């Protein structure tokens, strides 16, 4: 039986780091939204900057999940 160096885990180390960085970016976006001092969060932080970070935090993990591993 030949030894197989490939893991059964569907993501490699680089993709896991990209996935974690996306979650961190999403968490930072939620923290930014809570820092808004305007009533009901209708300021720049709550309506613009925070949601942009959350959106980026959702898009980044999609790249890591749908990136195909290249078997060398």
pLDDT digits (tens, 9 = 90+) for 17-55: 999 999 999 999 999 999 999 998 899 999 999 999 999
pLDDT of residue 50: 95
| Cα angle: 33, vertex 45, 29; to 5 degrees | 40
Determine, yes or no, domain membership for 34: yes
Determine, yes or no, domain membership for 48: yes
pLDDT(5) > 80: no
pLDDT of residue 4: 57
Both tokens of 10, joined, read 């569907």
Q: Report how far apart, in Å, the C-alpha atoms of 61 and of each of 2, 45, 69 are.
A: 34, 23, 15
Determine, yes or no, domain membership for 36: yes
Backbone phi, then psi, for 9, in 5-degree steps? -70, 130
Determine, yes or no, domain membership for 72: no
Determine, yes or no, domain membership for 1: no
State how many domains the chain has: 1
Domain with 48, as residue range(s), is 13-66
pLDDT of residue 72: 41
Locus of tokens 């309506």:
47
pLDDT(10) > 80: no
pLDDT of residue 45: 93
């Amino acid at each position: 039986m030949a030894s197989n160096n490939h893991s059964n885990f569907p993501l490699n180390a680089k993709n896991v780091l990209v996935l974690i960085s996306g979650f961190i970016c999403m968490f930072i976006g939620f923290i930014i939204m809570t820092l808004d001092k305007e009533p009901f969060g209708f300021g720049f932080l709550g309506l613009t900057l925070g949601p942009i970070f959350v959106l980026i935090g959702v898009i980044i993990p999609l790249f890591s999940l749908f990136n195909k591993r290249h078997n060398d």
